[in-house]
Structure 1
Amino acid sequence: MAVRKLSLDDFLEEEHYALIGIHCVIEDYRLAFLINQILDIKLKRSVKDVTNPSLNSNYALFEWFDQKQFTTYHLVANTCKVLHNNVKQESNSLFGKDTQGASNYYLLPEFKTINYLLKIETEFLSKEKTILNKILKIPQVVTAYSIASHTLKSKDNLIFN
């Protein structure tokens, strides 16, 4: 008797997207405005941020769907700074010392130097080079480059729906 084995990979389609890492120090809304101008798109702040409940971190998300080309653009912050208070109780003190600190968390921990990610979901990835060249022309952007999706260890963090 022959044994048949089914794999989920036979039924699930590979998601087609381009990922661009952007190094810059400006605020997320300012970068979204500049990308809107240079690419002639309309990125808007999403009602829901990308969250990681285990780390208690939120990442700003801007998105836009181009109905003419069936392309979805997502601009997301890669870093999140979380403030926390630590109260240390000393043995000879009535009140503890309040110490404030901050922890940095990353959406893609393997790319800690990237400030923002631009994810372009489309069936046809032919315009990735032109988009990248336009982003590099923004004066506030230090550098930007394509990231191969097969090299990512934390692909699941890029699922925004």
Structure 2
Amino acid sequence: ALHKLLVDDFYDDIYILIAIHCRLEDYRLAYLLNQSLELNLRRKPNDLDFEYLKSSYSIFEWDNTSQFVTWNLVSNVCKKEEEGLYSSGLFQTNEKVLKTFNLIPEYKKVDYFIKISDEIQNVNEKLILHKLQNIPQIVTSYSVNPTQMKSKDHLIF
């Protein structure tokens, strides 16, 4: 008899995912979130590297051990300057091009994601969204259902 072990069946991490549209730098957004949501987000020593250093994304984390909640703020956009050979007619030029990569490609317009891993599910998502909407520098924020995303594995960190 053959026994199949499906790894996907064991990974049932329940978390809240909030998309944020905001043109601020990552450290400024983390500061505003710390003030308005009473968090203590701190930048992790290593960025989230993806696809063998093709792109990297800043990540902030706070592990609230008293309420069993882990908060993550992760950038969805990585802009990287790359050199390439381009030919226009008879001549080839070596130009630098700014390429944009996304952690979650199906949400290209989203600048940041907040991932809230809540073990006992006591986080009020509507209250968090209301507080985020009250921050003037944030254009908009909304909940995203992670089970319907194709690249939800990119949020495992």
- Fold agreement, TM-score > 0.5: yes
- Give matches, 1:2-151, under 5 Å: 7-8=5-6, 12-54=10-52, 56-88=54-86, 97-123=93-119, 124=121, 126-151=123-148
* Alpha-carbon distance between aligned partners in 2 of 1:11 and 1:78, rounded to the nearest angstrom: 27
- 1:65–1:71 contact (8 Å) kept in structure 2: yes
Cα distance, 1:128 vs structure 2: 1.2
The 3-state SS of whatever aligns with 2:94 is strand
Q: If the length of structure 1 is used for normalisation, what is the TM-score?
A: 0.87
Q: Percent identity?
A: 40
Q: If the length of structure 2 is used for normalisation, what is the TM-score?
A: 0.89
- 1:18–1:125 contact (8 Å) kept in structure 2: no
Q: Name the structure where strand makes up a greater proportion of residues.
A: 2
* Alpha-carbon distance between aligned partners in 1 of 2:105 and 2:90, rounded to the nearest angstrom: 41
The 3-state SS of whatever aligns with 2:36 is helix
* Runs of 4+ displaced beyond 3 Å: 3-11, 87-93
Task: Could you tell me which runs of 5 or more consecutive residues in structure 1 were left unpaired when the two chains were aligned.
Answer: none
What residue identity is the alignment partner of 2:23?
V
Cα offsets for 1:78-99 (capped at 9, x unmatched):
0001101124589987xx6331
* Alpha-carbon distance between aligned partners in 2 of 1:152 and 1:91, rounded to the nearest angstrom: 43
RMSD of aligned alpha carbons: 2.3
Cα distance, 1:142 vs structure 2: 0.4
Larger Rg: 1
* Alpha-carbon distance between aligned partners in 2 of 1:146 and 1:11, rounded to the nearest angstrom: 24
- 1:43–1:64 contact (8 Å) kept in structure 2: yes
What residue identity is the alignment partner of 2:147?
H
Cα distance, 1:106 vs structure 2: 0.3
Structure 2 CA distance for partners of 1:9 and 1:58, relative to 1, 3 Å: closer
